[in-house]
Amino acid sequence: MEQKKLIGEERRNEILKILSESTEAVPGSKLAKTLGVSRQVIVTDMALLRAERNDIIATNSGYVISGKTEVAKGERRVFKVSHTDEQIETELSAIVDLGGTILDVFIEHKVYGTISAPLNISSKRDIQNFIADLKSGVSTPLKNITGNYHYHTIEAKNSKVLDEIADALQKKGFLIEVCDSVATYRAKDYSTM
């Protein structure tokens, strides 16, 4: 596809078209290059699209539309957790040490709706890089918007590993609940009030 600069909804529609036509995960960097925008614009667009649709998945290889391609390498569960900033590394390590991959983080904001970001953390190195980014002071964790409450989609090779992860998070006092599925909150439409 020839590189062209699209704006807003038009660009997001093009992203959906690219994903629906692809037989494999499409990296964010490829979407950015194809659409002539930065990687950060793609991350923002994907967050907006994922808030509208629950069939778009962020993987280690890129973005896919669920059911179109075989993306899951195991089973997934959504964990609602809460902890302090100082406990982030402990939380992520508990998951990775047991063989889990933290696919994303999201919050359910009562005004803005679902806000999510892909993480794809599956190793100690990934954790160290993530913590270094947080400590750089560029931004704060998403969980801080909702008083430390947030969700992670966790992938592991089987349900036994996911059960062990739930137990480890429970013992550390981080686990609030395990969710079969999470409703996507839509932002309020103030123009209709």
* One-letter identity of residue 45: D
Q: Which is nearest to 126 in space by CA: 92, 150, 155?
A: 92
Q: Is 169 helix (H, G, I), strand (E, B) or coil?
A: helix
In what side-by-side order are the strands of the sheet with 149-156? Answer: 113-121, 101-109, 149-156, 75-82, 175-179
For residue 4, what pLDDT is reported?
A: 52
Structure tokens at 122: 């599956």
CATH 3.40.50.720 holds for 75-179: no
For residue 142, what pLDDT is reported?
A: 79
Q: Which CATH architecture has domain 8-65?
A: Orthogonal Bundle (1.10)
> Residue-wise pLDDT tens for the chain (193 aa)?
444 556 788 888 899 889 888 878 888 899 999 998 888 888 888 888 877 776 787 776 788 877 554 444 578 899 999 999 999 999 999 999 999 999 888 888 888 778 888 888 989 999 999 999 888 887 888 787 888 899 998 989 888 999 999 999 999 999 999 986 555 556 666 666 6
Burial class (CB in 10 A: 0-12, 13-18, 19+), 158: exposed
Taking the whole predicted model, whether its pTM rises above 0.85 is answered as no
Residue extents of the structural domains in the chain: 8-65, 75-179
For residue 70, what pLDDT is reported?
A: 44
Q: HSE (CB half, 13 Å, CA atoms) of 184?
A: 13
Alpha-carbon span 119 to 91, nearest angstrom: 14
Q: Which is nearest to 149 in space by CA: 100, 51, 46, 79?
A: 79
Torsion sign over Cα 8, 14, 20, 26: negative
For residue 182, what pLDDT is reported?
A: 55
Q: Which is nearest to 104 in space by CA: 137, 48, 57, 37?
A: 57
